[in-house]
Amino acid sequence: MTRRYGIFTGGIDIPDEKQATLDEPIAPAWEAEVLRVPLAPCGGQAAEPVVEPGQDVQAGQRLAEAGPGGVDIFAPLAGTVRAVAPVTTAVGRQLLRMPAVELVDLSGPREIPTGPETFDWSSAQPEELRRRLDESQLTTLRRRPQPLGRWVRRAAKAGCEVLVVNAMESQPYVTADHRLLVEYGEEVMRGLAILARAIGAKRCVLAVDRRRTGDYDHLLAPAEHFEVEHVALPHKYPIGSDPILLKVLTRREVPCGGGPLDIGAAVIEPAGCLAAYFWVARKVRLNGRVVTISGEHVTRPANLFVPFGVDARSLLHSARPPYIMGGPMIGTLCEGDAVIGPATNVLLAIDPTPTGSPSQCIRCGWCRDHCPTRLNVAVLNDLYELARVESAELLGVLSCMECGVCSYVCPARLPLTRRMGELKHAIRRLRPGPAARDESLAHPHPETT
């Protein structure tokens, strides 16, 4: 069955730069000698450490107990606890400083584990699956991670019809999800089926980049078996953005300031499916993720399976900081001591385009023409400069998905994306209600891959 899918207005073609790592198989990260496992991978409040300095821990042993809205933290590898120390890692569009448990004298296997299925998930009750996912203490591996169990429960409560696996990776350089699909495609499909069952979604969609379909032939049989629609979409940034992807796939628009759940859709990424599968079916907790190491200053670009807590310097040793964590369009700059967390799908050593000081908007209208949400960014920028938040809200700034396109094209080099983000933040702060308490919950942050 072929269905025709449209494409969205706006967006840009950016140089792709993926060739360096496209065919690099996933390898273990051998180099790391110290792990600093971040204790607040979802932002929010940090978990409380339950280990003492000097204590020896096994792989998978609990290191810290979750605070409210967080997850328990487990040791990715066996080693010795040296201290609780602050580290930085990227969560959402920010670089956060948070406490971390420092492990040294690491030992144990570093590959993605293999093993037989120990649980018959295909006949389990959805509630049983949800309970297991709660237990897993895993997080989604998106730009702004959430506890996986909580995410599933919210999606189930919202009555999601569609579950979409977003493997578009429309950002330059990123190939982590592509390699996962090539090497662990079957497991990803099973994870998707588990999540769909737990959520109660009737329709599953795997959205991939049209240029890569030749590499995914082995996915067709499992896709048919698990009744997953396999959709290949053309490449145009930011097609990997959740609202845009859902618009293309379902023709429904995420309402202004809302999230995918508001239109009965849930979006997950392949790495999250894989983690869910490993836990539910094999009882193995993946305390790491696949990270693309790339950029012009990297001697050996690679796709590595990296345990959480490896610092950027030991992965990019030959290149000099600052590095970019999370992709060139939506990521943040970081120093060498920043560590890999669940949100880090790519670590780059490239030179950011020098921007100089922003100059004056000349109203060329390119930002508006390329904005995938058709926001009049030039006018919103004026409102930002005048600090007129209410007018900005009336113009729909809450629809902005912070994809970075407007800043990318602006010839005046204005930091438009950041300004839009600040406007949104200001609107939510002014609003009464639960927004002020838990921003990520009340206002799901639009994701882009």
CB of 436 to another protein, least distance (A): 17
Q: Does residue 221 bind another protein (CB under 8 A)?
A: no
Using CA of residue 331, residue 259, residue 2, residue 11, what is the dihedral sign? negative
CB of 257 to ligand SF4, least distance (A): 13
Cβ 311 vs Cβ 339: under 8 Å:
yes
Q: Pick from 297, 313, 374, 428: which binds another protein (CB under 8 A)? A: 374
172 binds, among another protein, ligand SF4, none (CB under 5 to 8 A by kind): another protein
Within 123-182, the residues that bind another protein by CB under 8 A are 172
Q: Does residue 373 bind another protein (CB under 8 A)?
A: yes
Q: Pick from 32, 81, 98, 265: which binds another protein (CB under 8 A)? A: 98
Binding site for ligand SF4 (CB under 6 A): 361-367, 371-373, 375, 377-378, 381, 400-406, 409-412, 414, 416-417, 420
Is the omega angle on the peptide bond into residue 86 within 30 degrees of 0, that is, cis?
Answer: no
Rg of the chain (C-alpha set): 21
Q: Does residue 378 bind another protein (CB under 8 A)?
A: yes
Q: Does residue 93 bind another protein (CB under 8 A)?
A: yes
CB of 365 to another protein, least distance (A): 4
Q: Pick from 60, 186, 253, 440: which binds another protein (CB under 8 A)? A: 253
Q: Does residue 388 bind another protein (CB under 8 A)?
A: no
CB-wise, 368 or 445, nearer to another protein?
Answer: 368
324 binds, among ligand SF4, another protein, none (CB under 5 to 8 A by kind): another protein
CB of 329 to ligand SF4, least distance (A): 9
CB-wise, 93 or 428, nearer to another protein?
Answer: 93
381 binds, among another protein, ligand SF4, none (CB under 5 to 8 A by kind): ligand SF4
CB of 137 to ligand SF4, least distance (A): 33
Tokens of 18: 């993926």
Cβ 80 vs Cβ 103: under 8 Å:
yes
CB-wise, 37 or 392, nearer to ligand SF4?
Answer: 392
Q: Give the span between the Cα atoms of 104 and 81, in whole angstroms.
A: 6
Q: Does residue 436 bind another protein (CB under 8 A)?
A: no
Q: Among all chains, which residue has been given the structure tokens 């990318």?
A: 408
CB of 78 to another protein, least distance (A): 25
14 binds, among another protein, ligand SF4, none (CB under 5 to 8 A by kind): another protein
Conformation bin of residue 200: beta by default, left when phi > 0, alpha when psi is -120 to 50? left
Q: Does residue 349 bind another protein (CB under 8 A)?
A: no
Of 101-109, 264-272, 323-331, 436-444: span binding another protein (CB under 8 A): 323-331
Within 16-55, the residues that bind another protein by CB under 8 A are 40, 43-46
Tokens of 278: 């490993």
Of 414, 433, 443, 62, which Cα lies nearest the Cα of 254? Answer: 443
CB-wise, 136 or 448, nearer to ligand SF4?
Answer: 448
Tokens of 43: 């932002």
CB of 267 to ligand SF4, least distance (A): 17
Cβ 264 vs Cβ 161: under 8 Å:
yes
CB of 198 to ligand SF4, least distance (A): 31
CB-wise, 133 or 403, nearer to ligand SF4?
Answer: 403
420 binds, among another protein, ligand SF4, none (CB under 5 to 8 A by kind): ligand SF4
* Contact mark string toward another protein, 50..79, x via CB under 8 A: ------------------------------
CB-wise, 143 or 178, nearer to ligand SF4?
Answer: 143
Q: Does residue 254 bind another protein (CB under 8 A)?
A: yes
